[in-house]
Amino acid sequence: MKVGIKDIAARAGVSIATVSHAFRNPGRVSRETREKVLKVARDLGYSPNNLAVSLRTARSGNIVVIIPDVAGSHNSGIIKSIENVAHHRGYSVLLGDTQGSEDREREFAAMTLSRQADGIILMSHRLPFRIDTDHQDFSALPPLVNGCEFTGHEEVPLVTIDDVVAGEDATRHLIEYGHRDIAVITGDMNSPSSQYRLDGFRSMMKEAGLEIRDRQIIFGEYTLEGGEAAARRLLLHKTRPTAIFCFSDEIAIGCMSVLRTSGFQVPDDISVMGFDNIRFARYFNPPLTTISQPTEKIGTLCATLLLDMIDGKPPKTIRHVLPHELLVRESTRRLH
Amino acid sequence: MKVGIKDIAARAGVSIATVSHAFRNPGRVSRETREKVLKVARDLGYSPNNLAVSLRTARSGNIVVIIPDVAGSHNSGIIKSIENVAHHRGYSVLLGDTQGSEDREREFAAMTLSRQADGIILMSHRLPFRIDTDHQDFSALPPLVNGCEFTGHEEVPLVTIDDVVAGEDATRHLIEYGHRDIAVITGDMNSPSSQYRLDGFRSMMKEAGLEIRDRQIIFGEYTLEGGEAAARRLLLHKTRPTAIFCFSDEIAIGCMSVLRTSGFQVPDDISVMGFDNIRFARYFNPPLTTISQPTEKIGTLCATLLLDMIDGKPPKTIRHVLPHELLVRESTRRLH
DNA sequence: TTGAAAGCGCTAACAT
DNA sequence: ATGTTAGCGCTTTCAA
């Protein structure tokens, strides 16, 4: 039933080596034998067993992307562009949705050790290997690029935006709009990018001589529900901010929904600022002011870098900082 | 550098068969040898070459999900739940984002032929195989389950909702709210589920004795931009509908955004109804009235069915119709 | 231009 | 309980 290279060889009256060459090394086989082989292959409905090919060539043709949540709007955009370049270069992508679990990060990363994947795109802040025990040094790591997050290892190629500056830009916008009482809703603070954004917020507030009330910094998580919960805590207090800087658009959307049901108008009563510029941001009511991340470029660059590494071309630059952009729409309002 | 089963065998002073058994067939090896083997394996940093295992066992441990757009909110939710059950059952998922291209559907499906995947979850309305030529009959197809769409082949296990009834339910809601002038914005009409929804709309309108103006059926596509474009066409005409039934939430969101910028209030001037109940639907302003699809259940069932098939357990039921639900929120309004 | 043969790393039937 | 051995399906030297 399942036809292999040797069935073709038998039927075409050539050796299996010739069949193999006919496919991968057309130059080493005469035109006519090649055509004969190809025809027989077609007649027999042959399709190569890539497992065997991979075993032999030590190249699986897969890359694995390790990401906390496939369904997040920002993430799925990145995945899509990764898949796109991978496909163009003949690779498939294995999906590693970790839900933030370090165990699962490790499991997925182990697919390179077990030869099921040739490299890793890691959207996490922790390296899924024990450098000290599993690997002697970084050169022994499988091809790996770190996207959007920073593991703390300078040796690992990195694709990201400048979260500190982005945090500053967002805050500056609010300040320029006359806000003095600015709250922030962070995402998971285990992630360095969240810390950087908060650093940016703090430095800009300080620069403007504005006071930061600890109570107005809500440590949340990167979800719609996180935004809701945080907004509720914010509204509870006697004094309320005039603007809220949310560390993701999803947080902002969750937050705005609570504001609305609590009777607040955005931006008339409270300005809300997001982060990411997910697809939905400009469609929201009101359209979301946000920091735009170059989602597609991030995915494309991660994949390109990784595939180059797999091909033996180490990246010229280790640290790739892509430009972000402040997008002022209608969820923030100038005071007075 | 790369340690294999035979390195362990050598170091532990046993045969490679014993090493293999120590891992996969612990009962067939004495306690002490097994422990010795395991220890050596750990010391040497052994990790099995799953390519070799797969080649030998003829089981890749991968399933491929073929889906038009990974980044679509409805889709990514399904993928996430597929990934979840796959992972629990020891499988990985290969991502097949096709952007609607039939070629790419075929390419991804071919991964089963090339043994890189053991089965397929197909979110498309066309079978990526030529039944006549590639395969004699359906029993020769690789394990396959069809999700959310219908290929027209009754033999292929199917997980879906009843789109006709869902279309009727949506339309009935609008009619019950007093609307007589109802427009619809469809998605890609190549997809049978779109056709079914439209069938449902038509039959319900007819049942209510309401007139359907052809001009008020806009054939669009399942995107935010599709919703925008369709809404513009709708608004252009002298007479306007009082309600718009959109075939996806994304369409509805695009549509509402155009309504808003054109000065219309939703639902005061025009009611808008979505479909899918994506995560964002209830957070929208106004919260979206929609038909809820059991996203997670769809993914879970698809994966379970497929994995069972791979394990040699053919599904008892071929056609799985999951319940949908009308969710009345605030984007539709009772007339008068 | 073609073929013989070794072997990628592992599993599993069979033998001991 | 452990070992021997024959492959899984293919690529790739090396020789003819």
Top residue of B50, B60, B74, B111 to mutate, by most chain A CBs within 10 Å, is B50
Token code pair at residue A286: 């009101």
Chain segment B83-124, per-residue pLDDT in tens: 999 999 999 999 999 999 999 999 999 999 999 999 999 999
Chain segment B63-87, per-residue pLDDT in tens: 999 999 999 999 999 999 999 999 9
Whether residues A95 and B97 touch (CB distance < 8 A) is answered with: no
User: With contacts defined as CB-CB under 8 Å, which chain A residues touch B257?
Assistant: 282-283, 285, 287
Q: What's at A196, amino acid-wise?
A: Y
DSSP letter at B279 equals: T
DSSP letter at A294 equals: -
Cβ distance A279 to B257 under 8 Å?
no
CA dihedral B330, A329, B261, B266 (to 10 degrees): 10
Q: What's at A33, amino acid-wise?
A: T
DSSP letter at A276 equals: B
CB-based contact, A131 to chain B, within 8 Å: no
Token code pair at residue A179: 């806000």
Chain segment B252-297, per-residue pLDDT in tens: 999 999 999 999 999 999 999 999 999 999 999 999 999 999 999 9
DSSP letter at B100 equals: T
What's the pLDDT score for residue A135? Answer: 57
The C-alpha atoms of residue A169 and residue A332 are separated, in whole angstroms, by 14
Whether residues A69 and B80 touch (CB distance < 8 A) is answered with: yes
Residue A274: which of A173, A149, A160 has the closest Cα?
A: A173
Cβ distance B73 to B288 under 8 Å?
no
Is the CB of residue B336 inside 7 Å of nucleic acid strand D?
no
Chain segment B134-172, per-residue pLDDT in tens: 555 777 899 999 999 999 999 999 999 999 999 999 999
Backbone angles phi, psi at B243, to 5 degrees: -150, 145
Token code pair at residue B9: 């065998």
What's the pLDDT score for residue B90? Answer: 94
Q: Which of B55, B77, B111 sits opposite A55 (nearest CB)?
A: B55
What burial class does residue A126 get, using C-beta atoms within 10 Å of its C-beta: 0-12 exposed, 13-18 middle, 19+ buried?
Answer: middle
Residue B260: which of A258, A283, A280 has the closest Cα?
A: A283
Residue pLDDT tens, chain A, 336 long: 689 999 999 999 999 999 999 999 888 899 999 999 999 999 999 999 999 999 999 999 999 999 999 999 999 999 999 999 999 999 999 999 999 999 999 999 999 999 999 999 999 999 998 765 555 577 789 999 999 999 999 999 999 999 999 999 999 999 999 999 999 999 999 999 999 999 999 999 999 999 999 999 999 999 999 999 999 999 999 999 999 999 999 999 999 999 999 999 999 999 999 999 999 999 999 999 999 999 999 999 999 999 999 999 999 999 999 999 999 999 999 998
User: With contacts defined as CB-CB under 8 Å, which chain A residues touch B54?
Assistant: 51
CB-based contact, B57 to chain A, within 8 Å: no
What's the pLDDT score for residue A274? Answer: 98
Token code pair at residue A38: 């190809």
Cβ distance A242 to A307 under 8 Å?
no
Task: Name residues whose C-beta falls within 8 Å of residue B242's C-beta, 6 or more positions apart in sequence.
Answer: B179, B180, B181, B182, B270, B271, B335
Top residue of A69, A76, A104, A139 to mutate, by most chain B CBs within 10 Å, is A76
**Separation of CA A258 from chain center:** 28
Cβ distance B259 to B231 under 8 Å?
yes
What's the pLDDT score for residue A336? Answer: 80
What's the pLDDT score for residue B130? Answer: 76
Region for residue A74 given its phi and psi (left: phi exceeds 0; alpha: psi -120 to 50; beta: otherwise): alpha
Top residue of A121, A133, A249, A280 to mutate, by most chain B CBs within 10 Å, is A280
Classify each residue of A2-41 as buried b or exposed e, where b means 16 or more C-beta atoms within 10 Å of its C-beta: eeebebbbebbebeeebbbbbbeeeeebeeebbebbbebb
Residue B16 in this model has a pLDDT that exceeds 80: yes
Q: Is B31 helix (H, G, I), strand (E, B) or coil?
A: helix
- In whole angstroms, D3 C1' to B17 CA is 7
**Separation of CA B237 from chain center:** 36
What's the pLDDT score for residue B149? Answer: 95
The C-alpha atoms of residue A307 and residue A311 are separated, in whole angstroms, by 6
CB-based contact, B223 to chain A, within 8 Å: no
The C-alpha atoms of residue B273 and residue B267 are separated, in whole angstroms, by 10
Q: Which residues touch strand C (CB under 7 A)?
A: A 13-18, 21, 27-30, 32-34, 52, 55-56, 58; B 2, 4-6, 16-17, 20-21, 23-25, 46, 48-49, 52-53, 55-57
Whether residues A79 and B73 touch (CB distance < 8 A) is answered with: no
CB-based contact, A336 to chain B, within 8 Å: no
Residue A46: which of A15, A8, A16 has the closest Cα?
A: A8
Whether residues A73 and B77 touch (CB distance < 8 A) is answered with: no
Whether residues A254 and B95 touch (CB distance < 8 A) is answered with: no
What are the distances in angstroms from CA A57 to CA A11, A15, B68, B163?
26, 20, 31, 47
Of all residues in chain B, what percent carry a pLDDT higher than 90?
93
Residue A54: which of A118, A8, A2 has the closest Cα?
A: A118
What secondary structure does DSSP assign to A102-159, as a single string? HHHHHHHHHHHHTTS-SEEEE-SSS-SS-TTTT-SSGGGSPSEEEESS--S-TTS-EE
Q: Strands B62-67 and B92-97, how do they pair? A: parallel
Q: What spatial distance separates the first Cα and last Cα of chain B, rounded to whole Å?
A: 79
- Give B 78-107 residues with CB within 8 A of chain A: 79-80, 83-84, 87, 92-95, 97, 104
State the average pLDDT over residues B302-328.
97
Q: Which of B54, B70, B284 sits opposite A51 (nearest CB)?
A: B54
Chain D bases closer than 7 A to any CB of the protein: 1-5, 7-13
What's the pLDDT score for residue B135? Answer: 56
Cβ distance B222 to B188 under 8 Å?
yes
Q: Is A66 helix (H, G, I), strand (E, B) or coil?
A: strand
Residue B28 in this model has a pLDDT that exceeds 90: no
User: With contacts defined as CB-CB under 8 Å, which chain B residues touch A260?
Assistant: 285
CB-based contact, A139 to chain B, within 8 Å: no
- The reported pTM is 0.95
Residue B179: which of B200, B197, B204 has the closest Cα?
A: B204
Residue B336 burial (CB count, 10 A): 4
Residue A177 burial (CB count, 10 A): 19
Which position has the token pair 């182990």? A110
Backbone angles phi, psi at A65, to 5 degrees: -110, 125
Cβ distance A244 to A234 under 8 Å?
yes
Cβ distance B16 to B52 under 8 Å?
no
Cβ distance B108 to B64 under 8 Å?
yes
What burial class does residue A203 get, using C-beta atoms within 10 Å of its C-beta: 0-12 exposed, 13-18 middle, 19+ buried?
Answer: middle
Cβ distance A183 to A244 under 8 Å?
yes
Backbone angles phi, psi at A137, to 5 degrees: -155, 180
Classify each residue of B112-150 as buried b or exposed e, where b means 16 or more C-beta atoms within 10 Å of its C-beta: bbbbbbbbbbbbbbebbbeeeebeeeeeebbbbbbbbbb
Q: What's at A3, amino acid-wise?
A: V
Which amino acid residue lies closest to nucleotide D11, measuring CA to C1'? A56
What's the pLDDT score for residue B236? Answer: 94
Cβ distance A99 to B101 under 8 Å?
no
State the average pLDDT over residues B25-43.
91
